[in-house]
Amino acid sequence: MPQKVFLNMLSDYLKLVYPILPLVYQPTFHAHLDSEAYTSDPAFLRLCVSLCGVTVASIPRSIDTYGFGKHVSPGNGGPSMPYGC
């Protein structure tokens, strides 16, 4: 996924989902995000990807805004997977 989309999803998590599902300690999370720890720390990358999933699942209308509005089906080259995930 492009870095811009990745960071937009995390921003949406912090703005829209975090208030009802506070899964991270924001000061530490922001520090790691600002230092781009997701490029060198596999555990932090997994946390970020999980938060992206939580965001897309919590705000379904945002799926198209991230560019995942289409899915691959068996008839057009792959297994049926909603939103290309």
- State residue 76's pLDDT score: 47
| Rounded (5°) CA angle 44-4-80 | 80
Q: Model's pTM, two decimal places?
A: 0.74
Amino acid at 19: P
Would you say 76 and 69 are in contact if contact means Cβ atoms under 8 Å apart?
no
Q: Which residues of 39-78 are buried (b: 16+ CB within 10 A; e: fewer)?
A: eeeeebeebbeebbebbbeebeeebeebebeeeeeeeeee
Please state the domain extents for the chain. 3-66
Give per-residue pLDDT as tens, 2-36. 888 899 999 999 999 999 999 999 999 999 999 99
pLDDT tens, residue by residue, 34-83? 999 999 999 999 999 999 999 988 887 766 777 765 544 445 444 444 44
The residues facing 81 across adjacent strands are 72
